[in-house]
Amino acid sequence: MNPTQAPRHPSFQDYQDISWTNSAYRSLLSAVVATSAIAAPLAVMQTITAWRLGYLLPMAFAAALEGVYSTLQLGRPRWRDRRGLAFRLGEIALWLVLARAAVWAFATGWPGLVELARWLRDPILFFDGQFVVTGVLFLLAWGLSIGLTGDFLDLALRPDEVAAHDSHEWGDSRSQLRVYYPVSRGAIVNRLAARWIWGGLLVVFCAAVSRVEISTSPRFTQIGLSQLGLPREILAALLCYFVAGLLLMSQARLAVLRSQWYNGDLQVPPTLLRRWPLNSLLTVLLVVAIAALLPIGSTGWLATALETVLAFLMRVAYLVLTVLTFLFTLLLYPLSFLFRQPGAQAPPPPPRMEIPTQQQAVSRLPDWLGGALLWVVLVLIGGYFLLNYLSAHGLLSGRWREWLQQLRFWWRARWAGLRAHAHTAAVTLRKRLQSARLTRLEVLGGRHIRLSALAPAERIRYFYLRAIGRAADRGLTRPPHKTPLEFIPDLVSEWPEADVDVKALTDAFVAARYDRRPIVADEARDVQGVFRRVMAALRGKADLTADGRKADRTPRVEKAL
Amino acid sequence: MSEIPLLLLLLLVIAILLRLDFVYYLVYVLAGSYILARWRTGRNLNQLRIVRRYTDHIFLGETVGVDIEIANTSWWPVPWLRCDETSPHSLATGSGAIRQVIALRPKERTRLHYDLVGRRRGCYELGPALLSTGDLFGFAEAHGRMEQRDYLTVYPRVIPLGQLRLTSRSPLGTIKSQQHIFADPARITGVREYRAGDPLRSVDWKNSARVGQLQVKKHEPAVSLTSLIVLEMNTESFGRQTRVSASEWGIVVAASLANHLVGQRQAVGLACNGLDALTGAACWTISPRPGRVHLMRLLEWLARVQTTETPPLADWLPAATVDLAWGATVIIVAPTGDEAICRASHRLLQRGLNPVLVVIESYYQFGVVRERARRLGFTAQMVADERDLRQWAFAAAGAQRLII
């Protein structure tokens, strides 16, 4: 066999639509549309503020390009381990940092120590309006480009379609097992088109409103123009939005047709696919050129006629609305007395509560502590996402990687030390708590219980538990798995002289604990005698076996009694 | 993309209300693209000239190339054109059809090609070619079909036959006859000595003078075979199991006989009670005529014929042979030689025609049929397969040699 004809094992790249996903033309169009979309809010901001925002469109374009690039990369199989929220949050952190830096660099100037101290005390001052607007617009362009790129990735040929297409070439008998999952590309394109169309309307409306102010006009409306022009960059961006959007729609159309042709095993000359972008571009440019030669809208006869018609319609609508309002008012007038409350006076306002200020509440802490903590948390979270993003792009290599490794080891060592200290402190605290609990138990069990204050059943239970406790002190602890009745033989084997009393005390305890029969006081009094005898027997055993001296035979209960 | 008109309307309202010229410009651009796309897409198909070029008659086993020539007659390009040409499944090669997408520049002409193989006789309709086109933006799409109906005829198989013994009662003709009473005075094969009873017009006076004895011209016996091939294609006449194969074989036999007879420069006609797929005619007759052109006509009808429910051949045979002259040969190609057909053949014999019954389905008691035919005065031959046909021709040639 000729080595060049040897069968090649297919790789995953054979099932990827690389020629489609790697198109720089489409990526550029997506970035242009996403950037142009923020032109309208930019125009509004330029109208209502005096900020310097000239840097915003180029940087938004960079953000859009970055969004396109990262989305394309994440769509590849070798980046599948990086897909997730952490990567996207890293991008957001990056663009927020860049937005802050851009505002400082191009608009407000770099902050001094005074500002830094102020932000430490009051972190909210860091998020000034210009930064918020810039960040939001950056993220808007970035997000739009991600959405557009994601849609076009969904429109690409999928591996199962490629596999099914390949299997068709083998013959029907083998291809029956390989059927691709149909993708509704038409729905994707419709969604894309709807987003573009309604987004475009919003963009135009915002841009138009930014140049309009309320004034009196004799024609038909109360709306007039304050200025007739928009900045050139805004106009160019608006035009780019629609032209690039049209070209993107053309690409989406190509994607749908291409998949239909591919799945239908149609022969498609490569020149058709190659010429498609050029043909669509030429068509749009032709229309743009012809439109430039047409009379400007507001001076044309068509616009005048439409304006007149619209004015008439608006007058009619205004008249109808006025009449309806008048009729509704007349309808409600007889009922107006129902809602009238003569002589009613508003209740006096409640007295103001004196709320202590935050500064007064935490007056013992330094005023910069809260802000510092917030910044530390923000920096840690943002830094984590940023590092995650940079390492995903392979930017943290070489010396940076070593430095980060050392930083990680240092942190692990500190963390281990902190954990050790915490463990020691926890052990110490636990011991202290245990000793305090023991002390409290002794106090509760020995000297401070008044038997006369207990109910008869409680008193019997106390006698039994007290006797068991004494037996435990003497070295015979009741195992948890033994019931009181099962524990009797153990007690009797140690104190045979008290076998009758032990049984009687246990029976009384069982009856008091588990029987529904009420326990009367006389019964408790009888059990008390049994209890004394049992305690005497327990003491005697101790006296004989422990140190040989005779201990005080008076039970401590009796002292209490 | 259905929201584009609404978008244009809203943009127009904004432009009018706020008197913004750049919004007018955007409306111009969007509306221009939209109108241009819809206008051109609707006209694209009308300005295409599509012609299918191919050889419309082929013999069995031949391959024919079909070209679909598509010409864009306008000065506007066609961004994409999808052409789905469905071809007959039994003739198709490869994927079986043209499924292709092309783009046409202004005034460009392109050609799509596919091959068909005549695997089975018949008359096949090519296409229809379904066309769809659209614009570059998805605003409009148009569908159409090529209205021209084209047909491809695949002739039935023709088995060359050496010599067949088919005779008629006509005394004049161009084919040698085994019946010596029909001597053709135009075919002189030699001279012999005069015998008593020889007509005086056959005396060869020149040779007699040279030899000094009366010599008589020897004439080659000959007949004129005006033949009519009658093909049974009534569905009920065939067995259920062999309906397709036997009817196809009958067509092959009829085509081979016609080819043979035309090769002998005889007039041949064809009558069949089957259905012509193209014209829808049932029980049709083609009058006997000589010549290759007429043979191709016979083959074309044989290519198109299909079995159908028609009157049985025995009932229809008198009507089919009513125009035949005395002495013509009627070759009846039928699946069986039942009594009805034999009686119908006998009636032909009584009318002065020369019936020959060719049974095309294998029948183990064919001897009974043959004997019945012999007693009724005509011949019956079973030709159930190609071997039988060749044996028939071979036996006929051998017998002729023996007679000559």
* Residue A293 contacts B where some CB pair is shorter than 8 Å: no
- A199 within domain boundaries: yes
Do A111 and A138 lie in one domain? The reply is yes
Closest CA to A32 of A304, A175, A237: A237
> What does the alpha-carbon distance between residue A470 and residue A486 come to, in Å, rounded to a whole number?
18
Do A223 and A204 lie in one domain? The reply is yes
**Residue B82: its chain A contacts at CB < 8 A?**
261, 266
CB atoms within 10 A of CB B105: 13
DSSP A242-293: HHHHHHHHHHHHHHHHHHHHHHTT-B--HHHHHHHHHHHHHHHHHHHHHHHH
- Residue where a domain stops, chosen among A314, A331, A348: A331
**Residue B3: its chain A contacts at CB < 8 A?**
193-194, 197-198
Overall number of domains in chain A: 4
For residue B145, the cross-strand partners are: B130
User: Using an 8 Å Cβ cutoff, are A103 and A116 in contact?
Assistant: no
Do A309 and A426 lie in one domain? The reply is no
CB-CB under 8 Å, B14 with A205: yes
For A291, the closest of B16, B25, B135 (CB atoms) is B25
For A267, the closest of B10, B14, B100 (CB atoms) is B100
For B24, the closest of A209, A275, A297 (CB atoms) is A297
A258-295 pLDDT per residue, tens: 999 988 888 888 889 888 999 999 999 999 898 888 77
Do A275 and A404 lie in one domain? The reply is no
**Residue B14: its chain A contacts at CB < 8 A?**
204-205, 208
Do A536 and A408 lie in one domain? The reply is no
**Residue B80: its chain A contacts at CB < 8 A?**
257, 272
CB pairs < 8 Å spanning A and B: 144
- Domain with A303, as residue range(s), is 299-331
* Nearest chain B residue (CA) to A272: B103
> What does the alpha-carbon distance between residue A432 and residue A424 come to, in Å, rounded to a whole number?
12
Name the 3-class secondary structure at A57.
helix
* Nearest chain A residue (CA) to B13: A310
CB-CB under 8 Å, B20 with A256: no
Name the 3-class secondary structure at A132.
helix
- A367 within domain boundaries: no
> What does the alpha-carbon distance between residue A464 and residue A330 come to, in Å, rounded to a whole number?
89
Do A423 and A460 lie in one domain? The reply is no
Distance (Å) of CA A528 to CA A183, A452, A463, A532, B64: 86, 12, 7, 6, 122
- How would you list the strands of the sheet with B78-86, edge to edge? B97-104, B78-86, B129-134, B141-145
* 0.90 exceeded by pTM: no
User: Which A residues 200-219 touch B at CB under 8 Å?
Assistant: 200-201, 204-205, 208-209, 211-212
CB-CB under 8 Å, B20 with A280: no
* Residue A121 contacts B where some CB pair is shorter than 8 Å: no
What per-residue confidence (pLDDT) applies to B224?
Answer: 56
* Residue A223 contacts B where some CB pair is shorter than 8 Å: yes
| Tens place of pLDDT per residue across chain A (561 aa) | 444 454 556 677 777 788 888 889 999 999 999 999 988 888 888 878 888 888 888 999 999 999 999 999 888 888 888 888 888 898 899 999 999 999 988 888 888 888 888 888 888 888 888 899 999 999 999 999 999 999 999 898 888 888 887 776 666 555 555 667 777 888 899 888 888 888 888 888 888 777 665 555 555 444 444 444 567 778 888 889 999 999 999 999 999 999 999 888 888 888 898 889 999 999 999 998 988 887 766 666 666 777 777 778 888 888 899 899 888 888 887 776 666 655 556 666 666 666 656 555 555 667 777 777 888 888 888 888 888 788 777 777 778 878 888 888 998 999 999 999 999 999 989 888 877 665 554 544 555 567 777 888 888 988 999 898 889 888 888 888 889 999 999 888 888 888 889 999 999 999 988 888 888 888 888 899 899 989 888 887 544 444 444 444 444 443 333
> What does the alpha-carbon distance between residue B178 and residue A330 come to, in Å, rounded to a whole number?
123
**Residue B25: its chain A contacts at CB < 8 A?**
239, 291-292, 296-297
- A318 within domain boundaries: yes
Do A29 and A133 lie in one domain? The reply is yes
CB-CB under 8 Å, B11 with A310: no
Q: CB-based contacts of B104: which residues, under 8 Å, 6+ apart?
A: B48, B70, B72, B77, B78, B81, B110
- A59 within domain boundaries: yes
User: Which A residues 320-379 touch B at CB under 8 Å?
Assistant: none
- What are the backbone angles phi and psi of residue B273, rounded to the nearest 5°? -100, 30
- Residue where a domain stops, chosen among A414, A436, A458: A436
Do A480 and A532 lie in one domain? The reply is yes
Do A110 and A210 lie in one domain? The reply is yes
- A254 within domain boundaries: yes
Q: Is A435 exposed, middle or buried (0-12, 13-18, 19+ CB in 10 A)?
A: exposed
A172-189 pLDDT per residue, tens: 555 555 667 777 888 899
For B28, the closest of A212, A254, A294 (CB atoms) is A294
Separation in Å, CA of B75 to nearest CA in chain A: 14
For B24, the closest of A225, A280, A303 (CB atoms) is A303
CB-CB under 8 Å, A257 with B99: no
B312-358 pLDDT per residue, tens: 888 999 988 988 887 788 999 999 888 899 999 999 989 888 899 99
- A237 within domain boundaries: yes
- In a mutagenesis test of the B interface, which of A287, A302, A312 is the best target, namely the one with the most B β-carbons within 10 Å? A287
* Residue A236 contacts B where some CB pair is shorter than 8 Å: no
> What does the alpha-carbon distance between residue B233 and residue B240 come to, in Å, rounded to a whole number?
13
pLDDT at B178 over 50: no
Average pLDDT, chain A: 80
* Nearest chain A residue (CA) to B22: A235
CB-CB under 8 Å, B102 with A230: no
B87-141 pLDDT per residue, tens: 888 887 766 678 899 999 999 999 988 889 998 999 998 878 899 999 998 888 9
pLDDT band at B401 (very low <50, low <70, confident <90, very high): very low
Closest CA to B276 of B385, B151, B360: B151
User: Using an 8 Å Cβ cutoff, are A38 and A137 in contact?
Assistant: yes
**Residue B13: its chain A contacts at CB < 8 A?**
310
Among chain B, residues having any CB pair with chain A shorter than 8 Å are: 1, 3-4, 6-7, 10-30, 32-33, 36, 77, 79-80, 82, 95, 99-103, 134-138
For residue B386, the cross-strand partners are: none
For residue A394, what are its two tokens?
């392979």
Q: Please give the DSSP secondary-structure letter assigned to residue B352.
A: T
Do A59 and A17 lie in one domain? The reply is yes
- A99 within domain boundaries: yes
> What does the alpha-carbon distance between residue A460 and residue A512 come to, in Å, rounded to a whole number?
7
Distance (Å) of CA A396 to CA A74, A391, A412, B41, B162: 18, 5, 20, 54, 92
Separation in Å, CA of B113 to nearest CA in chain A: 12
* Residue A187 contacts B where some CB pair is shorter than 8 Å: no
CB-CB under 8 Å, B32 with A298: no
Closest CA to B349 of B382, B316, B375, B313: B375
> What does the alpha-carbon distance between residue A63 and residue A73 come to, in Å, rounded to a whole number?
15
**Residue B114: its chain A contacts at CB < 8 A?**
none
Average pLDDT over residues B377-394: 85
- A357 within domain boundaries: no
Do A93 and A153 lie in one domain? The reply is yes
Do A285 and A417 lie in one domain? The reply is no
For B137, the closest of A246, A290, A310 (CB atoms) is A246
* Residue A265 contacts B where some CB pair is shorter than 8 Å: yes
Separation in Å, CA of A40 to nearest CA in chain B: 13
pLDDT at B23 over 60: yes
- What are the backbone angles phi and psi of residue B143, rounded to the nearest 5°? -125, 150
